[in-house]
Structure 1
Amino acid sequence: MNPEQLAALRTPEGVKALAMAAELASGDPLSSAAALRSSGLPADLAAAALTQADLRRRAAGKFGADADRMFFTRAGLEQATRSAVAERRAARLRAAGVRTLADLGCGIGADAIAAARSGITVYALEADPGTAAVAAANAEVLGLGRITVRHGDATAADLSDVDAVFCDPARRRGGRRVFDPGAYSPPWDFVAALPARVPRTVLKLAPGIDHGLVPPGAEAEWVSVRGEVVEAAFWCGPLAEVPRRATLVGSAELTGTGDAKAPVGTPAEYLYDPDGAVVRAHLVAEFAATVGGHLADPEIAYVYAATPAPTPYARCIKIEEVLPFSLKRLRARLRERGVGRLEILKRGSALEPEKLRRDLRLTGPAGATLVLTRVAGAPTALIGQPV
């Protein structure tokens, strides 16, 4: 969306178009567009309104009720921080004494909004003019005068008058994800140098970021929401509290060095499948200690224990059978158990679950969980039930 389209949506005619589009958003797109045009709206305004209505509907999971008033771009919504994650980050910045924040690469303004609501004055900068206009509009419609949005190059930003910097480099180009940090915008060399300029710096990055890129002395945090790992964040300088942190938003946090090693033994009666944030943060050993568990293979992040224990950090499965992997033997055993409904989990296995499901030719009324893994380096199948 360019600034001209956004301006049109904010006119009285545009507001009318958005209201009509919201009522039609769940219907057939072609019929909805025809209905808007038949009301006398210009075709380009009708299309823009329908796009916004669809994006607002999709954004509700990230932004709640705010989504109905905000404006979005497709790429901006995809990379935008969920409100619960942004609010937690803003609260931590505020508690650390941050009162003025530079938001470099602010996107549609998700983190700037949360920071402003926490009482922080935000100077937001965005390289794309259309996205910058959207961020400014969002600050205005939400009544957040603490946010100033400018269109500009983050690498030329004056950071001399801010307490802290937040940088979320763009990781998409031409509609595709960018995995090479050197291709981020702004580029990684600039991003990595920010803590030297402003010690209180937070970098939001993709969950798959290389641990080798963690700045010296920084805290590396991986964040999950309802079991989905949504981001990594590097907290630099005085903001760093621990070497590694796994944050399960709304549930719990696990911290540690990321270097600890869990004991290794044989599979036990209960298997724990740790949350992805725990695995990404290299805190499996710290988690294993909380349940008195161990690994069955030093390279596989499944934790085994003799007894079940309630934990926010992992789901638990009661293991009923341990089999060396053999498709023929596994198919026969599942048939004997009458398993027709099968959940398939895997770590350390090259098998493709849906192809295996077809090859197993499941029939029967029973359900089970199948775990494909390695035990002491050997391919192994575990059959069990969720606890």
Structure 2
Amino acid sequence: MDRRSTKRHSGRSHMKGIVLAAALGVVMGGMSGPASAQMSDGKIKIGVLSDLTGVYSDINGEGSATAARLAAEEFGNAINGTPVEIVVADHQNKADVAASIARKWIDAEQVDVIADVPNSAAALAVQDITRERKRIFLMSGPGAVDLTGKACSPYGFMWTWDTHSVSATTARALVAKGDKSWFFVTADYAFGHSLEDEASKTVKALGGTVKGGVRVPLATSDFSSFLVQAQGSGAKVVALANAGGDTINSVKQANEFGLPQGGQTLAGLLLNINDIHALTLPVAQGLIMSNSFYWDMNDETRAWSRKFEAKTGRKPSMNQAGVYSAVRHYLQAVKDVGTDDADKVAEKMRATPVNDMMMKNAAIGRNGRVFGNMYLFEVKKPAESKGAWDYLRLVETVPGKDAYIPEAQSGCPLVR
């Protein structure tokens, strides 16, 4: 072989070596290193979409954002080296505003998961968008059963409660003690309608009767005309199928009109600890309420609630605790599967029971329903309270499997 042939052979061998080394580098690079290589956009972005200024701002709002941040802090604000970012927006209790923010977050701002979303109409709009865009949706604020029923999503998870669990638990307790005739004062949108419907079904199934009801616009300040109708109905129970500021206003005005003094029972179908704090015990005492969380349940709930209170100046609502629990479960799933791919994360979330300060070994159904316990409470009398936020006495623990509609009966097309 002459010198020129040797050089050509040597050059070809050298180039083959470079190509082979580069190929091996690509393969090894894909196999090695932390799972952060599997994270989209170099970050995990969580959007807390809430009511920051309206009737649900006290039980959700900035407190929900704080709860999400507490969950992220437990992971050092990063998963396998990928930073976790929390962004917050106000949907103003308008479905169109919620939908617009959700689209912008996903399409332009690379948000991976949307959390909270009080107001069922807003949540139903966001559910459609996250289903279409394949983004995880962690619901802690809304309650309409359709969200895990006919409008369910493979990416949607309903964490804290729903209109069936809170209303049926409360209705069973009141009917059992003889309060069998009901009249409804109902928030006039998807959430209120669902709350009334679920309570009515339970009352009638147990032999009670519904004497009537009125529909009230969201964020109503004057309930007088509606409460006069409730008073005139002669119903033993005046059921308030509303929440937040609407519940506070309707309970206060019902007391001013003398409904409890006249022998009628006020039933708040969705009450939170924040509502009792605003009402004060002299007004709220004796109310029956169903919640999935209370800050004073055990050492774990008290310890976490102290962290929350240190940042907010108040104890958490069940909705705010639910945001923490949902975001924490999501982040753990991302860490376990090593990617923020929505299909893989959703599969891991459903396969893993929820275990944290809020719930233990709670299963997640194929329809996205988290089957945590519900708790029936009675609001304490002023003399029974040891101080601020010591408001509730536990009456009954209702296991998740009994508190919620079974997934096979939910109407969710994902359940076959």
TM-score, normalised to structure 1, is 0.30
- Structure with more of its chain in helix, by fraction: 2
Tell me which structure has the larger Cα radius of gyration: 2
Of structures 1 and 2, the one with the larger relative CO (CA 8 A, separation 6+) is 2
- Bigger strand share: 1
Output the TM-score relative to the length of structure 2.
0.28
